[in-house]
Amino acid sequence: MINTDICIIGAGPVGLFAVFEAGLLKMRCHLIDVLPQVGGQLSEIYPHKPIYDIPGYPSITAQELIDNQLEQIKPFAPTFTLGERVEQIEKQDDGSFIIATSDDTKVHAQVIVIAGGLGCFEPRKPEIQNLHLFEGKGVDYMVKDPAKYADKRIVIAGGGDSALDWTYHLADIAQHVTLIHRSDSFRGAPDSAEKVFKLAQQGKINLLLSHNLSNIHGNGTLTAVETINKDKETIAVEADYFIPLYGLTPKLGPIADWGLNIDKNAIEVNTFDYSTNVERIYAIGDINTYPGKLKLILCGYHEAALMCQSAFKFVYPDQKLTFKYTTVNGINTF
């Protein structure tokens, strides 16, 4: 039995920041993740993707962010169970929990924090009849290594942040990049859209708006992606790789059976402290939902900080959360 104060389900960036905030309050953390390594989606899906909205970093790759966070939490010595999925939880008479994984690892914790991102996920795929024939033969649903696309003809499809960011990033790596979107406007950040529009105006990428995907072609490997525009004209774009970035389909897995209030595969929380309807269970990051929710890493960090302030009362029920400091030579020391 592993004994800890807080059991965090999910070892992505938000879960890791929760370790830091908990550590400042002298609370120990054990993290469980179904993936074989720390980092969640950032390490598994797009480790080389640049991230632009982390304070203090004009740009940082996903894996660099995870590496920095691991360095940040070292003083608090968190422990990890990786490559295992949480299957069930059992509430004890004193209010604490015993958490059991798919490999029968057991963790005893006073508080559970669900920071599982999108939970179990799979990419959303465009409705193209023969798409599956080219999976692994030119069709990729995520970018793990941008160097793979050096000097290649790339077609990206999508209108969100991932499609915009990868179009911008791969424009300097690939031989040629084409971005296809079914609308004439983007769902992603306006700044990212503006950068992509500028690349198109400069002739550095090919931008096909109001185009719908219709087919893909090849003989064993991909050779072209076919689209239909609003005038019903068919256009074939030569391609070595096709990367449809339509987001991920979330699945909560066993978490859905824990008696939590669920809305569209997300866990409802109280924004006072990001607690769920089950006492001592919190949900932070992309896996939760509330009015005005934004699925940003930055928002998950904020949620983790407030959650830890609330969790303190369950870990140390006889203590009040206070901060004492002394002033030495004009400097406050906590």
Q: Which residues are annotated as a binding site for FAD?
A: 33, 41, 46, 86, 121, 286, 327
- Provide the β-strand partners of residue 51: 60
Other Cβ atoms within 10 Å of 321 Cβ, number? 11
**How many C-beta atoms surround the C-beta of residue 328 within 10 A?**
8
The answer to whether 283 touches 277, Cβ cutoff 8 Å, is no
CB atoms within 10 A of CB 44: 18
* Residue 74 neighbours by CB under 8 Å, 6+ apart: none
Cα–chain-centroid distance for residue 306? 20
Residue list for the binding site: 33, 41, 46, 86, 121, 286, 327
C-beta neighbour count of 223 within 10 angstroms: 16
**Could you give the 3-state DSSP secondary structure of residue 83?**
coil
Tokens 């179904």 belong to 34
Coil, helix or strand for 275? strand
Buried/exposed 1-25: b ≥16 CB within 10 Å, e otherwise: eeebbbbbbbbbbbbbbbbbbbbeb
Residue 6 to residue 29: CA distance in whole angstroms: 5
Judge contact between 305 and 311, C-beta under 8 A.
no
Which residues are CB-neighbours of 272 under 8 A, at least 6 positions away? 306, 310
Structure tokens, 139? 């069709």
Rounded distance, CA 113 to CA 111, Å?
Answer: 7
Rounded-to-integer distance, Cα 328 and Cα 24, Å: 21
